[in-house]
Amino acid sequence: MNRTRWVSTLIVSIHTSIAWAGDTVTLGKVASVSRRVSLEQIEHTQWDFLLNKYCDSSGFVDYLVWQQSQPDLQMLDQYLAHLSTADLSKSSTHAGQLAFWINAYNAVTIRGILREYPTSSIRNHTARFFGYNIWDDLLLPVGDHTYSLNQMEHDVLRKMGEPRIHFALVCASVGCPPLLNSAYTTAEIDSQLMFNSKRFFANHKKFRYDTSNNSIQISPIFKWFAEDFGQSQIERLKTIAPYLPDQQAKDLAISNRARISYLDYDWDLNDQASKVAPTP
């Protein structure tokens, strides 16, 4: 191939890649102003039904069967369209906002995986430079704006001052918090966040401690989002202490003697089809 032809081929290739970059997928649908309602009026019953049907008590999802059920895929799409009718300009409670956005994040994630299934990991769909990135390019219209998963997490939920969101937001991976098999609700959000936080730290793959050497091993979630738990290590450990599995762990966390290290993060899909028995 001569130089001129090689350069021309390279330019075409670059232009093709740039055109492909940032391809987006929009779920839900933009709602007319007359159809919009407050967050408190958003119903999560369809999402609750689907979670109860396809998510087990360990947070693993039956993607295979769900993907094969056209009625239930349509129900999920209807739920996402319902979320799109929320009017963010109308007043709502802090609890209502938390329930709405956690459900939205998890439902968009699951729908995104169902679009790609079969797949072994969400990381297979997170292109860094060119092409589709599920965290940036899978969008949900809400009111006058569209929100990616990253925007929901970083621009909305993390700014709400509730660190327990990190034990509720599910990235469809084994290493993330287990997906609750019921929808978060305004009335029960506090108890639901408490439950999932305690369940997170009861998992040996996400939290371990040893009082003989004052060591704590913890999920890297605690490192990635450290500032959400406090400005210092002792503040962060005090934040999570109420959710630790026993009194010894709690005492170590608040002792100011704990040495922290981070466990590996498992990016394998939280898929019932490939689920293995948990380590005791």
Quick: pLDDT tens for 126-158.
988 889 999 999 999 999 999 999 999 999 999
Q: Residue 30 and residue 222: Cα distance in Å, rounded?
A: 36
Query: The whole model's pTM is what?
Result: 0.90
For 41-77, the pLDDT digits (tens) are 999 999 999 999 999 999 999 999 999 999 999 999 9
Determine the pLDDT at residue 10. 33
Confidence of residue 2 (pLDDT cuts 50, 70, 90): very low
**Does the structure show a pLDDT above 70 at 14?**
no
Compute and round to an integer the Cα radius of gyration of the chain. 21
Determine the pLDDT at residue 31. 92
Determine the pLDDT at residue 22. 54
Locate 168 and state its tokens: 């509720």
Angle, helices 94-116 vs 189-202, to 10°: value is 50
**Does the structure show a pLDDT above 90 at 8?**
no
Give φ, ψ of 235 to 5 degrees: -65, -40
Q: Residue 169 and residue 122: Cα distance in Å, rounded?
A: 14
Confidence of residue 20 (pLDDT cuts 50, 70, 90): very low
Determine the pLDDT at residue 130. 83
* Residues 270 and 170: beta-carbon distance below 8 Å: yes
**Does the structure show a pLDDT above 70 at 96?**
yes
Burial of 265 (0-12, 13-18, 19+ CB in 10 A): middle
For 159-208, the pLDDT digits (tens) are 999 999 999 999 999 999 999 999 999 999 999 999 999 999 999 999 99
**Does the structure show a pLDDT above 50 at 9?**
no
**Does the structure show a pLDDT above 70 at 221?**
yes
For 23-51, the pLDDT digits (tens) are 899 999 999 999 999 999 999 999 999 99
Determine the pLDDT at residue 276. 63
